[in-house]
Amino acid sequence: MHETVCFFIFEKEFQHNEVIMKALIIEDEHATALRLKKILEELEPGIIIPAILDTVDSSVRWFSENMPPDIVFMDIHLADGSAFGIFDRVKVKAPVVFITAYDTYALRAFRVNSIDYLLKPVKKSELKASLEKFREYHASGTAALPDFEALARILRKEEYQKRFVVRYGQKIKAIESEDIAYFFTESGNAFFRTFDNSTYPAETSLDKLEGLLDPKKFYRINRQFIINVNAIREMFNYSKSRVKIELTPPCEYDSIASAERSGDFKKWLSGKS
């Protein structure tokens, strides 16, 4: 059973009412982002929100071109992958509020690291109480930063989706991720095929799926396919430095690692990516 939470990792103190707070929002659900913006503006009159971003790429670009904000509100799963990709590519010199869904095991990890959390959708009163708790905690002069690197390792492990729930007719079925051979698109819709050659609707885009799947087991070879390493039957050199892959179970579409991904694909096969 998953709970949806937002939890706080603070790296520096800001003085309430002494400066105008600048808050960056990174969230790919438009309604959620606007609601968060509204609550922040009600709690912190005069707050500046320089941008609302919805992808890893746009976030990396923003941090590279702008001074750091006072605080960042960040969804874990963005339109083009996991938000942890941001930390891999650029230094985020600001306290971060992650907004995401985690199970009980991960929540225990947050508590061990003295991190507060709120159930989503965030209530104004609860967010206000948490901000006040943060200010009082840091005003005591005894605040210690959490071990962010250790926590990130836990979150990376926990964020990968273990199973997918599919609905067909009146039936509901849970499919283990390890039983999925590959994901693919057809006529603009996403599907996945299991090793027993059953096909189901994925109910989300490949861009989103790419951030949910364990990168040690799954790789996106092109815009149409994400494949499980165990689904590779044979591989052949193909034109323009590409790699043609025969999958099991067989697929009616050609599965070819694009030229720009072939190098990384070979590293992934060797376990170096």
Same domain, 81 and 211: no
What CATH number is attached to the domain comprising 125? Answer: 3.40.50.2300
Alpha-carbon distance of 245 to 193, in angstroms, equals: 16
Domain's final residue, options 108, 139, 159: 159
| Cβ neighbourhood burial of 98 (10 Å; 0-12, 13-18, 19+) | buried
Which residues span the domain enclosing 224?
Answer: 166-270
pLDDT over 50 (residue 67): yes
Same domain, 98 and 118: yes
Same domain, 130 and 192: no
Domain's final residue, options 159, 185, 203: 159
Alpha-carbon distance of 19 to 86, in angstroms, equals: 27
Number of domains in the chain: 2
pLDDT over 50 (residue 219): yes
**What's the pLDDT band for 112 if we cut at 50, 70, 90?**
very low
Same domain, 144 and 177: no
For 169-234, the DSSP string reads: TTEEEEEEGGGEEEEEEETTEEEEEETTS-EEE-SS-HHHHHHHS-TTTEEE-SSSEEEEGGGEEE
CB-based contacts of 270, cutoff 8 Å, min separation 6: none
Domain's final residue, options 159, 176, 207: 159
What CATH number is attached to the domain comprising 177? Answer: 2.40.50.1020
β-pairing, 3-9 vs 117-119, is antiparallel
pLDDT digits (tens, 9 = 90+) for 240-261: 889 999 999 999 999 999 888 8
Same domain, 73 and 89: yes
